[in-house]
Structure 1
Amino acid sequence: MNTKLFPRLHLWLILPFVLTLAGFHQYWMGFTSMPFYWHLHGISATAWYLILIAQPWIYQHRSIHLHRKVGMIGLVLAGFVTASGLNMVKGMLTREATSPLFDFRYSLSFLDSLFIGFFMLSVILAVMNARNTASHARWMISTVFWVLSPAIVRLSFVPLLMVFQPESFSDLPFVWSDVFVGNQMLIILVLLFLIFRDFQKEKKIYSSYVLVTLVQVLAIPILLFLKDSPWLRELMNSVFL
């Protein structure tokens, strides 16, 4: 990687990594009691993220050969993340009626499936653009945003529950989807900023950021308006149940 490009990328990637870990803190706090398929997803995703952080530093401070070898390990891990993530979708569909996510379980499962699929697509396109440093790096950076949304929504409820201290989610002065929409808007603003910076510096708009931005925008009407539409229920049940 050109040292003039993303000289501190590995440091910037630590921030979404920490946010993701914090968002899924319940998994780590209950690690020993979690089922095996949760561990497949949690551990493979964490290992993949650590490689994502390390790769820019390795490229700039070590050899390209080491970067490629570590990249192959990351590609295998990305496959595990994708496969185990799709298995986790099944758990979303079988939520209990008391869950605050119950009314959105099908649209959320659909979104999770989209995010997981686009995550793997971004990894594949990053590999295909390996000789184009700028494009390769941005496809890898875009993978962060496919996993960030579920994490920061969960994380947002930590301070909200501390402030309002409700006996149940129904006592909160807002619905769960409001938090989701707010977080989506934040993610979209960050992506628009990255697109603007690229255009400002290079007079170029990268398709990786455009793709992830469009899907993050579409995630809002998908969640709010699809919910458990009959055709979506049938689709998701036929695929996962």
Structure 2
Amino acid sequence: METTLTHLAELAGGELVRESGADPVITSVGLDSGTLADSGALFAAVPGTRRHGARFAAGSPAAAILTDEEGRRILAEAGERRPVIVVENVRAVLGTVAAEIEGHPSERLTVLGVTGTSGKTTTSYLLEAGLMAAGHKVGLIGTTGTRIDGRAVPTSLTTPEATTLQALFSQMVEEGVTHVVMEVSSHALELGRTAGTHFAVAGFTNLSQDHLDFHPTMQEYFEAKARFFDPASP
């Protein structure tokens, strides 16, 4: 699907910084500057553990950049002249932006999400098997990777980054998938990876002490999981 940069800036609630009145058509979005081969791409430059993604913008053919205030400063210092959408938190809006660019594919699928400390993979496999036995064409996204109607598709995270997730949904729609079973990690919920995804079913397995390297306390871990069941969450 195609959409304009101005529309995406409005959707993200961001400031559009540009030198001219040009309004490029955006056809894709990604977090890795090295894999954006589309001249209609939007590069999402987010803070990294060591360096800000905006420092890699120069090597990308992207038509425009989505970043935060720190990224804006880095781009300005580098003399960047492409249009830039500036938001407070890129990850908070990235799922919504990616879903818009992909044409909201999850709305054409029945998506079943499973969260919890343990048991997500087992539960997802059981759901996949049951749906396939009922004659449905099923997609699976989780810890062991992604499958489309039983065929393995390489992915690296339990819940992929928002840009990858929406592109996967789009691919599944194109291949005739009707139902998707996916594991939803607390990391993904905290980082907004599932924003823009329409879930038909949300399942919870359990909550026990884990992932406290990422969540400072059990209360914050619980609150991250609870977002999955909050209708007000993105």
TM-score, shorter chain, exceeding 0.5: no
The higher-RCO structure (CA 8 Å, 6+ apart) is 1
Structure holding more helix per residue? 1
TM-score using structure 1 length: 0.28
Give the structure-2-normalised TM-score.
0.28
Q: If each structure's strand is expressed as a fraction of its own residues, which one has the higher value?
A: 2
